[in-house]
Amino acid sequence: MERFTGSFTQQEPIPEAGIEAAIAVLRHGRLHRYNTAPGEIAETALLEEEFAAYTGAKFCLAVASGGYAMGCALRALGVVAGQPVLTNAFTLAPVPGAIAALGARPVFVETTANLTIDLDNLAEMAAKSGSKILMLSHMRGHLADMHALMALCNRLGIKVVEDCAHTMGAAWDGIPSGRFGVMACYSTQTYKHMNSGEGGFLTTDDPQLAARAVLLSGSYMLYPRHRAAPPPEVFETIRLDVPNVSGRMDNLRAAILRPQIAMLDDRRARWNALYQVMEQGLAGTEGLVLTSRPAAETYVASSFQFLLPDWSADRVRAFVARCAARGVELKWFGAPEPVAFTSRYEHWRYADPQPLPQTDRVLAGLIDMRLPLTFGLTDAALIARIIRDEVGQVAQANDLTVEAVPLAD
């Protein structure tokens, strides 16, 4: 019986250029983004300039986390306590958390079987709630039809903030993810497409929103030191009215990240190669349904999802346990209680979630798996074989009392 022995949480090392730049920052000690020597440009300011160029955005702000970026974007848009904010039901906890942290009210929208936001339900929930803000989560790197979504939101007067934590380097119809809404938020947490442990970006083309975000992040009156921000005159009329909600990125993390921007396209190609091997290995597996990737979507597949539709909870639980016993770490979005990073909308009781039957049917059989770049193509093929085998074993089993298969020494 084949067994996988790799780690699903081991990332690639930081590139040598990032290590060297980080050591230089540690040696001179100027970690704070506004602490610079005469004539010196801060690593954080350079990072913002370079990431803006990569995405095509006019303005970029580097911040402490992707969650902070989302909260900052909502504050910049003037979201206040009690205000309804639309968002995907299929997402991760930091998204509704960013909404709730402002005292605003998350309004969850149904999910399609292809793991994207349901546009018909989006229109319905917008009408019911009166919300004019959508925090759109490109959850696990699955992009909705962005032209159709933006046409709907424009018709309804809804401003879109894109959560691009899982789509850094992705695109729809050739347009980069993050370039559709009024603002976009990115994460550089360890398991994302660039790794600084924690960190994030906020991008926009709107000078007023950009200026508000910079002031919110804790620039004090040092905003002229930003190189990917509006000119100082944009700040003048608002600089005393915007509160400081400090969430700056520091020069150490910026130094680690700067060399990784140039690696994003290569990383996308490598992730997608792993993903395609998984797809090929699982295609045609009876009882297992793969998500489809539209031709218009340029994806970045740092994770892999599939559905086990109409499986009982006991059968899914037995399948996940048997795969774990063979070294394949899977996450199940239908589990009754949150496990580690994995939770679903009904677990977020602070958001007062209402039942979403379509999403419940999808999540009940949704299996999720990381695809770290420390895996090779032969690893992906082995993992696919194990999953395929265990789907067949569990689908045919009459006795599900054994939660895991024994492993040979």
Domains (ranges, CATH) in the chain?
A: 16-261 (3.40.640.10), 264-396 (3.90.1150.10)
Q: How far is it, in rounded angstroms, from Cα 359 to Cα 117? A: 10
Q: How far is it, in rounded angstroms, from Cα 220 to Cα 201? A: 19
For the residues 6-27, what does the mean pLDDT come to?
97
For the residues 307-325, what does the mean pLDDT come to?
97
Q: How far is it, in rounded angstroms, from Cα 384 to Cα 390? A: 10
Which residues pair with residue 298 across a beta bridge? 171
Of the ranges 80-94, 238-252, 385-399, which one carries the lowest mean pLDDT score?
385-399
Q: How far is it, in rounded angstroms, from Cα 6 to Cα 125? A: 43
Residue 323 burial (C-beta neighbours within 10 Å; 0-12, 13-18, 19+): buried
Q: How far is it, in rounded angstroms, from Cα 172 to Cα 176? A: 6
Task: Give me the pLDDT at residue 84, please.
Answer: 98
Q: How far is it, in rounded angstroms, from Cα 280 to Cα 284? A: 9
- Mean pLDDT (the chain) is 96
Which residues pair with residue 389 across a beta bridge? none
Q: How far is it, in rounded angstroms, from Cα 191 to Cα 142? A: 16
Residue 19: in which H helix or E strand, if any?
A: helix 16-28
Q: What pTM does this model have?
A: 0.95
Task: Give me the pLDDT at residue 341, please.
Answer: 86
Of the ranges 99-113, 140-154, 181-195, 384-398, which one carries the lowest mean pLDDT score?
384-398
Confirm if 69 and 99 have CB atoms less than 8 A apart: no
Share of the chain above pLDDT 90, in %: 95
Task: Give me the pLDDT at residue 400, please.
Answer: 63
Q: How far is it, in rounded angstroms, from Cα 316 to Cα 311? A: 6
Confirm if 84 and 224 have CB atoms less than 8 A apart: no
- Is the pLDDT reported for residue 405 higher than 60? no
Q: How far is it, in rounded angstroms, from Cα 280 to Cα 309? A: 20
Of the ranges 90-94, 339-343, 373-377, which one carries the lowest mean pLDDT score?
339-343
